[in-house]
Structure 1
């Protein structure tokens, strides 16, 4: 009965031997690997944020170029008392809120259907002037481009003012557009900026955006800018100072730092020879670690023995990645203590019951 009770004693998870029993060599489905210098180098794969060349090489949008969807304002002066467009006694007429249609054209009375998309306001002014001059002497035309929905981007997420913003001369770059939206509304250290352009997307840390001009990409019409808090994290379990999910932030975290972030090893429970980092490795990384080709994603349980002469150095060099589980087993004597406690506790309970019976 005592042995059965001992087997059912509470604990924080599997012990070291039980994890090793799940190794591929023993019929399990996990690669259980002791960490060494080769493993730290081969597994040091950290997906980095950044923009591809297609984003970085895109030229800036011409702030004055008229596009379908833009709204224009025209003012026309005529050199006669009773002009084509001006009323009697007036020298000019204003045509406001003229939207460029989906084909890129606008309609101007007496000038007809005029192609506006692709032109600058000055080029469009010349075109309208030439068409009107056939019917009225020496017309004078001004064209004002009001940014419409032809050259806009959407800014959403953790910014002060979400919305649809026009790409104008001061806001043609990513950082300028974020400033136009009032800046980010979360801690800049954990803010990630994603730009979605058609079927492509790229993301960058906000701090890296401001640190490198290469990340301050030119915006294109239709871009979607999303600002969000980074969600990368690892989970800490077992004989640690705390058992929780821990954000990675924008720093590179090693195993020593990961353990320290949750209060270190529990000195009353932890087995320093049984520190495990569990993750799913992509095919390319798994092949480098094992030194042989494998097919598909592989389950790995990396073992860190902190009692070895270089154990702490290896743990310092082993990088923690998004989705990792850091698990520390209990020391073997802990279960013995629990077993003895259960036995002595049972004996004490029996003596108490006997005393009550007497």
Structure 2
């Protein structure tokens, strides 16, 4: 008959099995440890610059991409309120001060030329006046040009010009506005702010609204609040402009040993690392390592060169380390600004993994006790 294993031997066997299980399979965790992140540093053959944040780093990295219009947008002149455009249809009336004029028949004093379409090049043809450029002129300016052309052939001609069809100079307004559509550039709506008002205003909170203007192959954007705060941002509109209002999509991501793990919108505020951590519930009291707060980002070449103190080529992958336990750690975190697409990662404290291992072992022993009790 085979002898039963002593209970002490069963405990040792159970503990050995638990240790093997923990070592072989690992334990659940929220992400890499500080040591694992450091192993990917450039100094160790990796492709990430791991940088402890100090006063120099905080100042050098505080680059914020700003919105605004280029000089070509800011310096564009105001267009006439009623400019003629290619595709418009015009109606002309011509009076001549003779009984038998160039265009009038005997017994009549005027001639109506209806539905003269402005061609794709911006021109129209008027008998005896020839091919005339209409696009870019107001109806009154075109009237003067035609009158001058006819004056050399008939005495004192009188001309009127009216738009029969077409909206003249127009812009398109779309996105988060209360009235999307195509609007003519009229005397009260020659600027960006007045056109937005004409379309009913924005339908989202002004603090997160971004206004983009596309003009040909160029485009520019500005915060709605900056549009009204600075007159230089209230640009003059041009025919064919496309105005798009949308909610700002800038954000950062928070993961690891934090009160919450989520993607957080930035809005148009300048947010520092302390505020960013607070926005997701702060550090997890039971899990977080306050010496391992990482901000991960791809730095543009100019900023990376300032931070590293040497020239680099192209954008650089950076892992900024904040140690909140240092005497000035909280101040440095307060001075370090968070940018679009940043990832904030907080490592777990070393004892957390130890507790998990211990719990796995003691849990295994408790299970062995239950088995032994059941066997007895």
TM-based fold match above 0.5: yes
Q: Secondary structure at the match of 1:61?
A: coil
**Which position in structure 1 is the counterpart of 2:194?**
176
Q: CA deviation at 1:12?
A: 0.4
**Which position in structure 2 is the counterpart of 1:309?**
327
Query: Does 1:237 pair with 2:255?
Result: yes
What are the equivalent positions in structure 2 for 1:2-21 lying under 5 Å apart?
Answer: 2-7=18-23, 8-21=26-39
Gaps of 5+ in 1: none
Task: Report the more deviating stretch, 50-59 or 304-313.
Answer: 50-59
CA distance in 2, matches of 1:47, 1:28: 28
CA distance in 2, matches of 1:285, 1:133: 66
CA distance in 1, matches of 2:115, 2:243: 28
Question: Which of 262, 269, 272 is the matching residue for 1:251?
Answer: 269
Query: Does 1:223 pair with 2:241?
Result: yes
**Which position in structure 1 is the counterpart of 2:341?**
323
> 1:148·1:166 contact (CA, 8 Å) conserved in 2?
no
**Which position in structure 1 is the counterpart of 2:171?**
153
CA distance in 2, matches of 1:90, 1:245: 77
CA distance in 2, matches of 1:146, 1:6: 84
CA distance in 2, matches of 1:357, 1:92: 119
Q: Secondary structure at the match of 1:319?
A: coil
Q: CA deviation at 1:336?
A: 1.5
Question: Which of 130, 134, 140 is the matching residue for 1:122?
Answer: 140
CA distance in 2, matches of 1:108, 1:71: 13
What are the equivalent positions in structure 2 for 1:78-117 lying under 5 Å apart?
Answer: 97-108=115-126, 113-117=131-135
TM-score, normalization: structure 1? 0.89
Task: Report the more deviating stretch, 303-312 or 169-178.
Answer: 169-178
Q: Secondary structure at the match of 1:170?
A: helix
**Which position in structure 2 is the counterpart of 1:54?**
72
> 2:83·2:169 contact (CA, 8 Å) conserved in 1?
no
CA distance in 2, matches of 1:348, 1:86: 113
User: Do the aligned partners of residues 134 and 215 (structure 1) sit closer, same or farther apart at CA in structure 2, a change above 3 Å counting?
Assistant: closer
What are the equivalent positions in structure 2 for 1:259-274 lying under 5 Å apart?
Answer: 259-274=277-292
**Which position in structure 2 is the counterpart of 1:333?**
351
Task: Report the more deviating stretch, 108-117 or 310-319.
Answer: 108-117
CA distance in 1, matches of 2:263, 2:297: 15
Q: CA deviation at 1:356?
A: 2.9
Q: Secondary structure at the match of 2:243?
A: strand
Question: Which of 265, 286, 295 is the matching residue for 2:304?
Answer: 286
Q: CA deviation at 1:169?
A: 1.9
User: Do the aligned partners of residues 145 and 194 (structure 1) sit closer, same or farther apart at CA in structure 2, a change above 3 Å counting?
Assistant: same
Gaps of 5+ in 2: 1-16
Task: Report the more deviating stretch, 121-130 or 76-85.
Answer: 76-85
Question: Which of 197, 214, 226 is the matching residue for 1:208?
Answer: 226
> 1:22·1:28 contact (CA, 8 Å) conserved in 2?
yes
CA RMSD of aligned residues (A): 2.8
**Structure with bigger gyration radius:** 2
CA distance in 1, matches of 2:77, 2:375: 92
Q: CA deviation at 1:98?
A: 3.5
User: Do the aligned partners of residues 4 and 75 (structure 1) sit closer, same or farther apart at CA in structure 2, a change above 3 Å counting?
Assistant: farther
TM-score, normalization: structure 2? 0.85
What is the count of residue pairs matched by the alignment?
358
> 1:147·1:167 contact (CA, 8 Å) conserved in 2?
no
- Cα deviations by residue, 1:25-45 (Å, 9 ceiling, x for unpaired): 222221111100000011111
CA distance in 2, matches of 1:164, 1:218: 17
CA distance in 1, matches of 2:214, 2:225: 19
